């Protein structure tokens, strides 16, 4: 485990808060060690920093009450969803109270005519889509994990569908949030667009629990497309695959997903999912539209792919075949781990302008080989975002240090290519130094906003900003 | 003219700033009354509040220099583009220095492979699209006026294409800005998506010059579609037209534009543009895609429109016929004024969830008639946004008061329908009380951000926030 910074603890305040909250919430306030550690633990390689207690509110009013108690005592408040974040977002470096949102799991209103839905933060992505299916609607953002919508909002999540449907920033219409002093605010109306003052919605999206606790989310929905078609295509090189992607995007083909698996990922997928794909760079695509539309899209893709040396192009509208391919893509994390049983996976998350993607992936691939690291790579290539999954023996200090070096090297490479150290995972604890490198003085203004909205630094301290 | 609030002037500081800037910028610092008044004047009914001087920088470094001089002296700085904003955004209620950005009009880089462009803030929408045409690219946001891209960013503008391409918030990738202390920041990398800290890009988009001066904008571009098709369709009632729109959107037809003209607007367009349209509610549409795609879209539209009583449906791919119809739509402001020569037009800008649109437009129509106001209405109905153009004799105090009442009544109606008082025009001076009504306590947190980023309130004071 990588060591996480510890911050000073307000022991007196914390004891008093646990006491007060315990009296108020009864057995909805828990202090058992296993439960606390589970709430510090995320899908991450950063060491666990457990909160002092976990509280389970069921309403916005209760969240406000909790925040007010903690604010009065100067005690950290850390919101928690499914714990699937990757950069130590829910760790408690100064201790404090974890607010588990998962009992706020109601779908409050579906406005089918307006294509929006109002949910509590503990509703998960799959829960929402199951609920919506009968109405012919779906929520498109799919980060892989069955994350909570509150957590996805807080980390500005995206995933495979972002190339067409955007990220959480594009799909949240409005938020209700509890601010650091316990005030409940609504960031915007339910109108589809607005020029009403500062964009408080977008400020809270991606703020990782450091500016407010999200207690209600109004999300944009999409109609389930009449037809869905999948395609796959192999290439001799990552460069050819990336050039094909650029051309497809420039041509205006509204692909819903366009994913790259490098050869090592394809090997892992073949092993894990019993497939028989050529062990070469692979593009996986999905098209949404009318019957005629998806056919046209997949034909245009095939033409472009062939121009760039793509081969073994297959397309299908059969639900079964589609889901087999996409299941393999979704299982890549586990498939990757299968390449080195017992190893822990550390995921990078750089995102670069698409014109730099081939160069970035190829250079990253070569560097991993140079350093003797096993690192299958998959990418949301329509957005220029890719993940290298470093497979590391965490008991080996030398390997851990190597992984650290690689992550830093790759983040700096992406930044030097006008890209970012994080396309969708967020900063959390792990990427704070890279945020500073990426945006420099801009982080000083982020810190000013943090200080203005949370002057006592009680909301998820130690995240995003280096001095927090 | 409606009276605008005056704020206290820092006379000593202002004289010193004008003196210093004059020495530094020579004849690029102007103090002539006509020029100053032109820079306080916008397409608005709010009285002119001229700045004390207008300065014309040509680089980011010069903007930073200007801001530093003004910061040191505590003097207001008001950025200016084409002056086409509608709510007194560029007025100088406390005097100060207007920074005219129009000499920063360079297109700095086109990244065709990445579908983005880097521009200075004085580049106009039409200038950009003329420049891009040969490369098969375009920038879709079209607020009607040939506004500067800096101004469009600052007001979070949108317009007729927003239903498909979003608003400025969806189309700005990154900004360079000069903050209140003269620091130059870049808000984000050029990557298509990012989770790197607070969304400073979206915070500056729509901040109306109150948080920073935008000096460079990285915009997303689109490929010019292979085919464009237009359609129009008349309805007996606004309600039927709105129901047709809802169904088209729910069906997932990716309309590029879908505009409503009420009967009075159609009458005005017939008169102004020599058309012969049925004087009934009219939908105007535009479809972008492949040849087959736009045909399919327009056929689906026609089927849906007929179901809701639409008639006189015509569609065309001919550039000439398309442009005739859309020119008429774009000329609506002038056509509207033609209904009452000599009157001034006051535009409302409410936006409601689309399910409430028919009700909102119909109620607004009836209320205008009740009050004896002439007010043709046009709407970006795919977004739930519409404008009533009140035609007012500004020399008639009673009429002005009536217009004021109507605007307030309509804003409150929209807010009561879970909508907003401004879909795209912004708050400026004119809508400050309605912002407070719409978002209540949330504006307190906006004020905290303003105070944190601009502690001396020198950046465009008196805009957005009621106590500013």
| CB-based contact B189 A415, cutoff 8 Å | yes
- Supply the pLDDT for residue B5: 81
Give yes or no: residues A210 and A136 share one domain: yes
B18 vs chain A: nearest CA distance in angstroms?
28
- C-alpha to C-alpha distance for B72 and B18, rounded to whole angstroms: 13
Q: Cβ–Cβ of A353/B192 closer than 8 Å?
A: yes
Closest CA to B116 of B149, B97, B138: B138
Restricting to B residues 19-58, those with a Cβ less than 8 Å away from any Cβ of A are: none
**Would you call B448 and A451 a contact, using CB atoms and an 8 Å cutoff?**
no
- Is some CB atom of chain A closer than 8 A to the CB atom of B87? no
Q: What angle do CA A372, A376, A377 make, to 5 degrees?
A: 125
C-alpha distance from B439 to closest chain A C-alpha (Å):
7
Same domain, A302 and A205: no
Question: Do residues B178 and B63 touch, judged by C-beta distance below 8 A?
Answer: yes
- Locate A2 and state its tokens: 């990588």
Among partner residues B185, B296, B422, which is closest to A194 by beta-carbon distance? Answer: B422
**A60, A76, A102 - which closes a domain:** A102
Chain A, residues 195-214, CB within 8 A of chain B, namely 195-200, 202-203, 205-207, 211
- Across the interface, whether the CB atoms of A427 and B195 are under 8 A apart is answered yes
Total residues belonging to chain A: 468
Is-contact B436 B468, C-beta < 8 A? no
In chain A, which residue's Cα lies nearest the Cα of B429?
A197
Q: Using an 8 Å CB-CB cutoff, list chain A residues near B427.
A: 195-197
> What stretches of A274-356 show up as alpha helix (H) in DSSP?
291-307, 319-330, 332-338
Distance from CA of B413 to the nearest CA of A (A): 13
Query: What residues of B are in contact with residue A450 (Cβ under 8 Å)?
Result: 198
| Chain B residues close to A423, C-beta within 8 Å | 191, 193-195
CA distance A95 to A73: 13
Output B296-299 pairs: Cβ under 8 A, ≥24 positions apart: B296/A290, B296/A292, B296/A293, B297/B229, B297/B253, B297/B254, B297/B255, B298/B229, B298/B231
Residues 6+ apart with CB under 8 A from A161: A140, A141, A142, A256, A257
Contact B198 A207 (CB under 8 A): yes
Single residue among B270, B301, B334 that ends a domain in this structure: B334
Percent of chain A with pLDDT over 70: 99
* pLDDT beneath 70, residues of chain B: 1-3, 42, 467-468
Of B188, B223, B258, at which residue does a domain stop?
A: B223
> For residue B5, is it within any domain?
no
Does A368 fall in a domain?
yes
Average pLDDT over residues A229-235: 97
- Structure-block tokens of residue A188: 């915007």
Output the pLDDT for position A80. 98
CA distance B194 to A349: 10
Strands B53-55 and B97-100: parallel
Q: What was the pLDDT predicted at B178?
A: 98
* B339 three-class SS: coil
Please tell me the distance from the alpha carbon of residue A25 to that of residue A98, in angstroms, as a whole number.
13
Domain count, chain A: 4
Q: How high is the mean pLDDT of chain B?
A: 95
Chain B partners within 8 Å of A251 (Cβ): 223
Same domain as A132, residue A209: yes
Query: Which positions in chain B touch A186 (Cβ < 8 Å)?
Result: 439-440, 442
Classified as helix, coil or strand, B278 is coil
Helix (H/G/I), strand (E/B), else coil: A183: coil
Q: Mind giving me the DSSP string for B252-286?
A: T---SEEEEE-HHHHHHHHHHHT----SS-EEEEE
Q: Taking CA atoms, what residue in A is nearest to B157?
A: A195
Same domain for B206 and B169, yes or no, is yes
Q: Does A251 touch chain B (CB under 8 A)?
A: yes
CB B442 within 8 A of CB A200: yes
Give a yes or no: residue B439 inside a domain: no
Cα torsion through A60, A63, A64, A70, rounded to 10:
180
| Residue A445 domain flag | no
- Residue A44 confidence (pLDDT) above 80: no
Q: Are strands B344-347 and A282-289 parallel, antiparallel or unpaired?
A: unpaired
Looking at residue A20, its pLDDT comes to 98
- Rounded to a whole number of angstroms, the distance from the CA of B9 to the nearest CA of chain A is 25
Asked if A168 reaches chain B (Cβ–Cβ under 8 Å), the answer is no
Same domain, A83 and A133: no
The reply to whether residue A198 touches residue B449, judged by beta carbons under 8 angstroms, is yes
A208 and A141 housed in the same domain: yes
CB A392 within 8 A of CB A346: yes
Residues 6+ positions from A132 with CB-CB distance below 8 Å = A110, A117, A138, A139, A221
Give the residue among B145, B43, B24, B116 at the shortest CA–CA distance from B85.
B43
pLDDT digits (tens, 9 = 90+) for A270-324: 999 999 999 999 999 999 999 999 999 999 999 999 999 999 999 988 888 888 8
The three-class DSSP label of residue A53 is: strand
- pLDDT of residue A355 exceeding 70: yes
| A109 and A97 co-located in one domain | no
How confident is the model at residue A2, as a pLDDT? 63
Is B254 a domain residue? yes
Q: Mean pLDDT, chain A, as a whole number? A: 95
The closest CB to that of B205, out of A199, A225, A420, belongs to A199
Report the length, in residues, of chain B. Answer: 468
Nearest-angstrom CA–CA distance, B256 and B225:
11
- Same domain? A133 vs A97: no
- Domain of A156 in residue numbering reads as 104-223
**Are residues B360 and B307 part of one domain?**
no
- Looking at the structure, do residues A299 and A350 belong to the same domain, yes or no? no
Is residue A367 pLDDT above 70, yes or no? Answer: yes
Q: Do B169 and A199 touch (CB under 8 A)?
A: yes
**Hey, is the C-beta of B8 within 8 angstroms of any chain A C-beta?**
no
Strands A97-100 and A77-80, sheet pairing = parallel
Q: What are phi and psi of A24, to 5 degrees?
A: -80, -40
Closest Cβ opposite residue A206 in set B183, B198, B354: B198
pLDDT of residue A323: 86
Chain A: residue whose CA lies nearest to B173: A353
Which residue is it, tokens 């909790």?
A66
CA-nearest residue to B111 within chain A is A355
Which residues in chain B have their CB less than 8 angstroms from residue A158's CB?
A: 193
Residue A201 shares a structural domain with residue A270: no
Answer whether B424 sits within 8 Å of A195, measured CB to CB. Answer: yes
d(CA A328, CA A323): 8
**E-strand spans in B240-281?**
257-261
Distance from CA of A280 to the nearest CA of B (A): 24
Choose the closest CB to B250 out of A115, A211, A355. A115
Would you say B334 and B345 are in contact if contact means Cβ atoms under 8 Å apart?
no
Average pLDDT on A350-360 reads 97
Asked if A191 lies within 8 A of B351 by C-beta distance, the reply is: yes
Is B236:B309 a contact under the CB 8 Å cutoff? yes
Cα separation of A151 and A46, whole Å? 18
A155 touches chain B (CB under 8 A): yes
For residue range A52-62, what is the model confidence (pLDDT) as tens digits?
999 999 999 99
Q: How do beta strands A385-392 and A377-380 pair?
A: antiparallel
Q: Count of CB contacts below 8 A, A vs B? A: 284
Predicted pLDDT of residue B69: 98
CA-based nearest residue in chain A for residue B188: A439
Cβ distance A193 to B424 less than 8 Å, yes or no, reads: yes
Domain check: are B320 and B418 in the same one? no
Interface of B with A in 255-284 (CB under 8 A): none
- Asked, for residue B191, whether it belongs to a domain, the answer is yes
Give the closest residue to B206 by CA, choosing from B158, B138, B278: B158
Number of CB atoms found within 10 A of residue A171's CB? 26
Q: What is the pLDDT of residue B467?
A: 67
Q: Which of B155, B193, B207 sits opposite A351 (nearest CB)?
A: B193
pLDDT, one tens digit per residue, over A129-166 is: 999 999 999 999 999 889 999 999 999 999 999 999 99
Residue A395 belongs to a domain with what CATH number?
Answer: 3.30.70.2740
> Cα–Cα distance between A442 and B200 in angstroms, integer?
8
Distance CA A142, CA A159 (A): 5
Work out the angle at residue B431's Cα, subtended by the Cα atoms of residues B411 and B175, and round it to the nearest 5 degrees.
120
Inter-residue contact B342 to B399 (CB < 8 Å): no
Q: What are phi and psi of A42, to 5 degrees?
A: -130, 175
Interface test with B, best of A243, A292, A445 (most B CBs within 10 A): A445
Degrees to nearest 5, angle at CA B108 with A444 and B68: 40
> Do the domain assignments include residue B431?
no
What is the pLDDT confidence band of residue A3, given thresholds at 50, 70 and 90? low
B49/A101 Cα distance (integer angstroms): 50
Q: Where residue A187 sits, what CATH number does that domain have?
A: 3.30.465.10
Chain A residues closer than 8 Å to B449 by CB: 198, 203, 449, 452-453
Is residue A392 less than 8 Å (CB to CB) from chain B?
no
- Would you state the structure tokens that stand for residue A227, as one six-digit string? 């037809």
pLDDT of residue A437: 96
Whether B458 is in a domain gets the answer no
Residue A168: band (very low, low, confident or very high) from pLDDT cuts 50, 70, 90: very high
CATH code for the domain in which residue A96 is found: 3.30.43.10
Query: pLDDT (tens digit, 9 = 90+) per residue, A368-404?
Result: 999 999 999 999 999 999 999 999 999 999 999 999 9
């Amino acid at each position: 485990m990588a060591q996480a910074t510890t911050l000073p603890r307000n022991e007196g305040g914390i004891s008093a808060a646990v006491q007060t909250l315990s009296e108020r919430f009864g057995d909805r306030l828990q202090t058992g060690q296993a439960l606390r550690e589970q709430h510090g633990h995320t899908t991450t390689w950063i060491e666990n920093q457990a909160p002092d207690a976990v509280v389970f509110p069921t309403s916005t009013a209760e969240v406000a009450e909790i925040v007010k108690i903690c604010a009065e005592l100067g005690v950290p408040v850390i919101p928690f969803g499914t714990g699937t974040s990757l950069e130590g977002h829910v760790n408690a470096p100064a201790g404090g109270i974890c607010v588990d949102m998962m009992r706020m799991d109601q779908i409050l209103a579906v406005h089918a005519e307006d294509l929006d839905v109002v949910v509590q933060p503990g509703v998960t992505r799959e829960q929402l889509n199951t609920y919506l299916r009968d109405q012919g609607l779906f929520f498109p953002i799919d980060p892989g994990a069955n994350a909570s919508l509150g957590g996805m909002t807080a980390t500005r999540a995206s995933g495979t569908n972002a190339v067409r449907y955007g990220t959480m920033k594009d799909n949240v219409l409005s938020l209700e949030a509890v601010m650091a002093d316990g005030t409940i605010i609504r960031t915007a109306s339910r109108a589809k667009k607005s020029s009403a003052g500062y964009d408080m919605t977008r400020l809270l999206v991606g703020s990782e629990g450091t500016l407010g606790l999200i207690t209600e989310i109004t999300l944009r929905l999409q109609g389930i497309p009449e037809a869905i078609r999948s395609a796959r295509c192999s290439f001799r090189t990552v460069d050819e695959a990336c050039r094909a992607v650029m051309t497809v995007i420039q041509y205006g083909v509204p692909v819903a997903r366009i994913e790259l698996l490098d050869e090592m990922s394809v090997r892992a997928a073949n092993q894990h999912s019993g497939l028989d794909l050529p062990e070469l760079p692979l593009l996986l695509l999905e098209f949404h539209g009318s019957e005629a539309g998806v056919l046209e899209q997949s034909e245009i893709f095939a033409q472009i792919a062939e121009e760039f040396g793509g081969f073994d192009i297959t397309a299908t509208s059969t639900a079964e075949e589609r889901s087999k391919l996409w299941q393999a893509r979704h299982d890549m994390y586990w498939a990757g781990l299968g390449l080195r049983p017992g190893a822990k996976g550390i995921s990078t998350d750089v995102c670069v302008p698409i014109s730099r993607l081939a160069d970035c992936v190829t250079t990253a691939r070569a560097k991993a080989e140079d350093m003797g690291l096993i690192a299958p790579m998959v990418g949301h290539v329509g957005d220029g975002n890719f993940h290298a999954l470093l497979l590391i023996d965490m008991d080996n200090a030398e390997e851990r240090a190597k992984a650290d070096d690689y992550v830093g090297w790759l983040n700096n490479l992406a930044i030097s290519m006008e890209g970012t150290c994080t396309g969708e995972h967020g900063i959390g604890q792990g990427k704070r130094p890279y945020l500073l490198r990426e945006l420099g003085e801009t982080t000083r203004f982020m810190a000013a906003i943090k200080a203005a909205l949370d002057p006592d630094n009680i909301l998820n301290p130690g995240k995003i900003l280096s001095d927090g």
